[in-house]
A = this chain, B = another copy of it.
């Protein structure tokens, strides 16, 4: 077995991803477990835990106990909701504006007696205007920046888009994170689909209907789209009623509408600020493809796609913190 350098955990609300990283941050092993902080493994005898740490310990052991038994001195770093008030230890948010190398100076250490301590990465908070928070995405952004040309990060204007349940758009100008926005697009889509009249006429398509997605995108960017998503979403139903949008096309059409409205809002904000940042997309490949399509449609150019940003970000932060040597 190759000797490892770091154990890195991406520990969110609903799942736990563990990475065994070798020299240079190369991924040697990976594990995906369902033990998110809100779904920790129960005690083997079914009793309630005396201390809340117990559930975290069991999940931790399931994820990397075997790796640590082989190499007990490996440093461990973790990001995500594990650092929230409901997590293993709360890691106070880092305030914006900030450079991301500041994350390494604010790691929160979970001491575990004679066993390996866990270092938790703090999230970011923007307090100006409407407050905004992230936990986990700051590490993805650190990974994205580590993969970009150093001079672009040092001097340039980068906008990192992280599609998902809560899509984040993070502005990094001259290496400093100055602002970010959150769009609840993924979660709103699921709520509309599962819990409104729009879902009732939707039928499973079997495969993604990209034409329906493109149609929704076009509508959001059209004159009719100016009424906003609260209005345009009703057309998923009415186009069905008038026989011009099949039930199997309605879900992807709705996805196109919502992503279209989101990207239109971002494009308008960039135009107001006269910014033309390099846009980097990071996340699920299919979803990133849809965002890339929306970005092109709004004249925002061809985005850069990045993968494995979390692993790379955790490695970078561990290097910055001196837990490992690069």
Residues of A within 8 A of B (CB): 125, 127, 129-133, 166, 181-185, 187-188, 190-192, 194-198, 219, 223-224, 226-235, 238-239, 241-242, 244, 258, 261-262, 265-266, 268-269
Distance to closest chain B CB from A231 (angstroms): 5
Contact between A196 and B184 (Cβ–Cβ < 8 Å)?
Answer: yes
Task: Point out which of A130, A133, A194 has the most chain B C-beta atoms below 10 A from its C-beta.
Answer: A130
Q: In the complex, how many angstroms separate the beta carbon of A176 from the nearest chain B beta carbon?
A: 21
Q: How many copies does the complex hold?
A: 2
Question: Which residues of the other chain, B, contact A227 by a CB distance below 8 angstroms?
Answer: 181, 183, 265-266, 269
| A235 in contact with B191 (CB, 8 Å) | no
| From B183, B226, B238, contact of A131 by CB (8 A) | B238
Cβ of B230 and Cβ of A261 under 8 Å apart?
A: yes
Residues of A contacting B: mostly: helix
The residue on B at minimum CB distance from A241 is: B133
Q: Nearest residue in B to A133 (C-beta to C-beta)? A: B238
Complex contact B268–A234 (CB within 8 A) = no
Residue of A191, A233, A269 most packed against chain B (CB within 10 A) = A191
CB distance from A68 to the nearest CB of B (A): 33
A129 to B182, CA, bound (A): 30
Q: Which of B190, B223, B234, B265 sits near A182, CB closer than 8 Å? A: B234
**Contacts known (A226-B269, A230-B185); A130 close to B238, Cβ less than 8 A:** yes
State whether A231 touches B188 (Cβ < 8 A).
Answer: no
Q: Which residue of chain B lies nearest to A84 when distances are taken between CB atoms in the complex?
A: B241
A239 and B130 contacting across the interface, CB-CB below 8 Å: yes
Q: How far is the CA of A86 from the CA of B132 in the complex (A)?
A: 45
